[in-house]
Structure 1
Amino acid sequence: MTDSTTRLAYPSLAEIEEARIRVSQVAQVTPMESSRFLAEVIGSPVYLKCENLQRTGSYKIRGAYNRISALSDDEKARGVVAASAGNHAQGVAFAARELGIAATIFMPIGVPLPKLQATRAYGAEVILRGHSVEEALRAAAEYSQATGAVIIPPFDHIDVVMGQATLGLEILDQVPDVDTLVVPIGGGGLIAGIAAAVKQRAAALGRSIRVIGVQAENAAAYPPSLAAGEAVSIVPTPTIADGILVARPGLLNFTIIRELVDEVVTVSEADTARALLLLLERAKQVVEPAGAVGVAAILAGKVKDAGTTVTVLSGGNIDPLLMQRVISHGLAASDRYLKLRIMLPDRPGQLARTAELVAEANANVVEVLHTRHGKGLQISQVELELHIETRGPEHRAQVVAKLRDAGFEVRVEE
């Protein structure tokens, strides 16, 4: 392959087709599922490209395998090294194993146990170093200098972009009439590859395809970078979509995205949690938060006049403990989880009466806190905190009205 310093910014269609042949040795053709619910939201067909069902649980195997397979014999003999908190680690470990190459992966201390175990199970040596991906990256760079192992970057390399681009060709095979693609963005390798593939294929056919990128608003480096005309660093804040938490765009990725991607939008934590819950309930798909941001953008009204739409579910590697928290957050964001504080006279039967009223409203109490020690309470009062499952905004309002109509002083906690 031609080195990225002497070639055009993005891979040609012919190069992507060649990469597809290589990548097909390990990557599966993942399902494309239609979504009636999302189609009703935007008024046109919507399809879900299920890379959460890919080997290793994400699209990352494509770029990792394409990059590692391009190494010289001397480089392969030196082994590869990478740093990641999850999907890239598993992609590199799997690809290296398939190619018979030694792999060393640096992961932050405290990485979720399922991701750590999966990476080791693919045959990589895992070294825990630092408390962030940035610290792990520095350790990987030091290891590379000391041993000669080749660093496999997560997104900022032409071979990685080329591997991810194979997903774009697959999408066009499955939904030839697609008008809009909605793709998660972290460092930008996935959307850069997809945009390079679909824009060139569409141009050859004399049509256009719109590509929209989605970032978590707590870690959105692309909007300010695109506004500035150059890659800029941000200070991200914590996000449940940790798979796309990147402080600075990849330089190669930024160049491609600036030229080929039509729009970049952001979604909130609540938007993402709501999308993950919807995918579980309506599509029966287990998706990590980063992989659900495209659906979140559709639900949040950020994708308009889209025509036939495909959104990429980029990964499904979610820690069960995080899933539990995200589902709770998604229930609250969908107005299906209600937290109430109720002032009660301190006499027998009041707790039973509130529970009876909630039951009459066909809601379910999941947690109760009963205390005499809250601030502002009179000696003759107690405070009751109820956590209630409801069926949505209308049912939520009915529960509150039922309690207030019975004479209770009710405060809704957001």
Structure 2
Amino acid sequence: MADPSTSPPLTRASVAAARELIKPFVHRTPVITSTSLSALASGTDAGADAGKANPKLRLWFKCENFQKVGAFKARGAFHAIERLKQEPGWLEGGGPEKGVVTHSSGNHAQALSLAARANGIPAHIVMPRISAPPKIAATKGYGARVIFSGSTSVEREAATAQVVEDTGARLVPPYDHPDIILGQGTLGLEFQEQVEELMMAAEEEEEEDGKEEGAGKKKKAGSRRGLDAIIAPCGGGGMLSGVALSCEGTGIRVFGSEPSFQGADDAKRGYESGTRVEAVSSLTVADGLRTPLGRIPWSVIYERRLVSGFYSVSEADIIRALRLAYERLKVVVEPSSAVPLAVALYNEDFRAMVEREAGEDGWDVGIVFSGGNVSLEALGKLFSESPEMAK
């Protein structure tokens, strides 16, 4: 990894620069909407619960499940490699031959493997022996050398250190580095622009319809086109902090979302107490969010207050939201991706806050679908074992 001291400043402008750097390597993933899910979130669906908060929510979904390797992690990995290539002396000193190394059980493993292959660089990936076989196979499929380790962070880090000593490879961490954060934040810039474009197109269509009917529609004075808020999942915080940077100075509020099961809501607890929680041990179904919040993401999220707050949801709510994503949006997402949607649908604190602050106008809320790397067998087991949760 490039020396953090040489990284660009953590600003919205740096996120924009990162987007230009990785544009040839990643997809501009689609943004989709759902009238039925917006109605459900707004309490106007037939199944809405009486007596609870009924904010007016218009939901927009950023589909990083359609990104390369099936997750947003490709953005940070490609940006890290491109930044490393710009480090003085790395190319001349044999850096590309020594390669890169990381420890990961899933999406970052695949993302770094792909980015390294695209640049002709060896990738050494330390993976816990208990990693899902499809993820191991995918990582090897991208050409990486996989080294197995124990499942604890101590065991993984020890194995990684040994690889660095043996090969001279550069460590590319999954989230706790400025270059990773800036790369992940590029999805936030895209999201903002895509929603504005879609809103503009809808307004133009309405105006044309109005002209044909002889009654044009006027936009409300003082209204602002675009998102009012974004909810993103939070594990190590690389993506959440990057999205927060992409929204700095725009007026768009950013919220983190986490599972509450077995203390997986470490970022929420740390944010509310003022002290970062450094260890997490949880077997939440949202397996991509079992990681404690990193030090550098914490500096963006909490110390700079670029995230407005955190909300957590139960396992039952995550599974209910996951089922809705499949049934109503027809997209393949993993449980971690369903956590922001679960907040919008079921977290009463969030919903009451929107109802109070947005009033009758409501909010346009962006939901980040972070990835779609889940096996059909795992989904079948999840839904079949928890029918009461999926209702």
Q: Determine the C-alpha separation between the residues in 2 that align with 1:172 and 1:59.
A: 16
The answer on whether the counterparts of 1:276 and 1:292 sit within 8 Å (CA) in structure 2 is: yes
CA offset digits 1:49-97 (Å, max 9, x no partner): 1001111000000001101111131333321001111100000000001
CA offset digits 1:286-317 (Å, max 9, x no partner): 11111111111112135332600110000100
Q: Decide which of 357, 368, 373 is 1:312's aligned counterpart.
A: 368
Tell me which residue corresponds to 2:100: 80
- 1:231 deviates by 1.7
Tell me which residue corresponds to 1:405: none
The answer on whether the counterparts of 1:277 and 1:330 sit within 8 Å (CA) in structure 2 is: no
Tell me which residue corresponds to 1:109: 129
- 1:225 deviates by 1.6
The answer on whether the counterparts of 2:124 and 2:163 sit within 8 Å (CA) in structure 1 is: no
Go from structure 1 to structure 2 and tell me whether the alpha carbon gap of 1:110 and 1:181 turns closer, same or farther (over 3 Å shift): same
State the structure with more CA Rg.
1
SS of alignment partner, residue 107 of structure 1 = strand
Tell me which residue corresponds to 2:346: 300
Alignment of 1:239-318 (within 5 A): 239-246=284-291, 248-258=292-302, 259-302=305-348, 303-304=350-351, 305=354, 307-318=363-374
Tell me which residue corresponds to 1:215: 258
CA RMSD of aligned residues (A): 2.0
Any gaps of 5 or more consecutive residues in structure 1? 203-207, 336-414
Alignment of 1:19 with 2:22, yes or no, is no
SS of alignment partner, residue 235 of structure 2 = coil
SS of alignment partner, residue 127 of structure 1 = strand
Return the structure number with greater strand share.
Answer: 1
The answer on whether the counterparts of 2:7 and 2:179 sit within 8 Å (CA) in structure 1 is: no
Quote the sequence identity (%): 37
TM-score (norm 1): 0.75
- 1:329 deviates by 4.8
Q: Determine the C-alpha separation between the residues in 1 that align with 2:98 and 2:343.
A: 43
Q: Determine the C-alpha separation between the residues in 2 that align with 1:324 and 1:233.
A: 33
Q: Determine the C-alpha separation between the residues in 1 that align with 2:296 and 2:192.
A: 24
Q: Determine the C-alpha separation between the residues in 1 that align with 2:385 and 2:312.
A: 18
**What is the identity, as a one-letter code, of the residue corresponding to 2:83?**
A
**What is the identity, as a one-letter code, of the residue corresponding to 2:309?**
E
Q: Determine the C-alpha separation between the residues in 2 that align with 1:160 and 1:6.
A: 13
Tell me which residue corresponds to 1:191: 240
Q: Determine the C-alpha separation between the residues in 1 that align with 2:288 and 2:280.
A: 16
**What is the identity, as a one-letter code, of the residue corresponding to 1:245?**
R
CA offset digits 1:179-202 (Å, max 9, x no partner): 0101000010001001001124x1
Any gaps of 5 or more consecutive residues in structure 2? 43-55, 85-89, 197-225, 355-361
The answer on whether the counterparts of 2:2 and 2:83 sit within 8 Å (CA) in structure 1 is: no
TM-score (norm 2): 0.79
Q: Determine the C-alpha separation between the residues in 2 that align with 1:323 and 1:212.
A: 27
Give the total of aligned pairs: 327
Alignment of 1:305-384 (within 5 A): 305=354, 307-329=363-385, 331-335=387-391
